[in-house]
A and B are shown apart, each in its own frame.
Chain A
């Protein structure tokens, strides 16, 4: 760093910035940035040398578990999953605990007008009470927010005693992940103690995220995605 001329006013400016109440961040905002931990890059994988017989055995295992392997490969190809997990942690859990929410929060109607027309659908769908075979989920909050540079429609529900996020965003699907014409094409992933169920259309990605096991979350995810896919297809 080269030296530069020190201006006598610099000290006054620095002090004014440091002391101005209007310029200070809210403590909960700074604390909430720790939630970005969920976005850290996936660990790098390195090729390792193994004996030939081990490679053969591994191949056999892979062939046997072929279906499962392709399932996992599809999951890891989801470019948005980490961001969605972050939004759930940062926003939904913040709402549930009265703490920090995500940023860029707008009413759905306003976000739909300004950014994504399809979000209008989520003003009324799903209904405030969603009956499922696992119990009724109740909508706590509907809004649009920004996380990881992406704008979402975010509906927070209370289901089986825990907050669950329904998160919708434009795009996000890869060619192989576009699967949605019916709710039975939901893809399930488990990461960071959360279950993430998703369905992708060419236009939208729909995620249901919660800390419940997949067996408990799936009745709600099926109910929500069936309603939404139908409504979004007409939007």
Chain B
């Protein structure tokens, strides 16, 4: 069922109940990619403004957070174009679907170590990993949010996870050394 402006505050009440609770998570997402609090707040505010104005198009019962993230990602893309940054392009790495070995995941990772390793990945890999593993979006929702084919989502996810594990591999060595000194 679509949401229609009821004229009695019903639209706002529904928006407040369904969309606003996701503001925290939208902010974390925006903050991760923009690395600037002001820019992240701008993005989230503008996302919410656009979402409110087009809330009549949101299909009740579908994933509201995925819908909001799609709006946020569109805004990010528009701003990126406006700044005339180079666009994200699919490169050869996107199509690499296998790696010779899968590094084991270190056991006692700190939050800082995980986030530092993630931040060292190219942004196109970070995007799919964050949307999938942090935001728990489906492949289809990620493809819609990032405007990339489903196959690209899957290959970037696979490749990104491999790179992330490789980035965390040195932690294995550190942990082994720490255990040895105990």
* A interface list, Cβ under 8 A from B: 1-2, 4, 7-10, 12-20, 22-26, 29-30, 33-34, 36-37, 39-44, 102-105, 146-149
- A75 CB, min distance to chain B CBs, angstroms: 18
The complex places the Cα of A15 from the Cα of B109 at a distance, in Å, of 11
Given A9-B165, A13-B130, A149-B49, does the pair A103, B42 have CB atoms closer than 8 Å? yes
A23 near B28 with CB under 8 A, answer yes
Which residues from A are CB-within-8-Å of B123? none
How many chain B residues sit at the interface, stated as a range, is: 35 or more
> Sorted from nearest, which 5 A-B pairs have the closest CB atoms?
A43-B7, A10-B133, A16-B111, A25-B27, A1-B138
- B38 CB, min distance to chain A CBs, angstroms: 6
Check B56 for interface membership: any CB of A closer than 8 A: yes
Given A25-B24, A44-B5, A105-B38, does the pair A13, B129 have CB atoms closer than 8 Å? yes
Given A2-B139, A148-B49, does the pair A41, B42 have CB atoms closer than 8 Å? no
Which residues from A are CB-within-8-Å of B56? 41
For B38, give its contact among A2, A9, A103 (CB under 8 Å).
A103
The complex places the Cα of A12 from the Cα of B31 at a distance, in Å, of 18
Q: Is the interface of B mostly helix, strand, loop or mixed?
A: helix
A36 near B48 with CB under 8 A, answer yes
Given A1-B63, A148-B49, does the pair A23, B12 have CB atoms closer than 8 Å? no
Which residues from A are CB-within-8-Å of B28? 17-18, 20, 23-25
Given A9-B105, A24-B28, A103-B41, does the pair A40, B11 have CB atoms closer than 8 Å? yes
A40 near B139 with CB under 8 A, answer no
Q: Which residues of B26-85 have CB atoms within 8 Å of chain A's CB atoms?
A: 27-28, 31-32, 37-38, 40-42, 44-46, 48-50, 52-53, 55-56, 63
The complex places the Cα of A34 from the Cα of B19 at a distance, in Å, of 11
B11 near A29 with CB under 8 A, answer no
Check B120 for interface membership: any CB of A closer than 8 A: no
* B interface list, Cβ under 8 A from A: 4-9, 11-12, 15-16, 20, 23-24, 27-28, 31-32, 37-38, 40-42, 44-46, 48-50, 52-53, 55-56, 63, 105, 109, 111-112, 114-115, 118, 129-130, 132-134, 137-141, 161, 164-165, 168
B164 nearest CB neighbor, chain A only: A9
Given A10-B134, A13-B118, A13-B133, does the pair A23, B46 have CB atoms closer than 8 Å? no
- B175 CB, min distance to chain A CBs, angstroms: 14
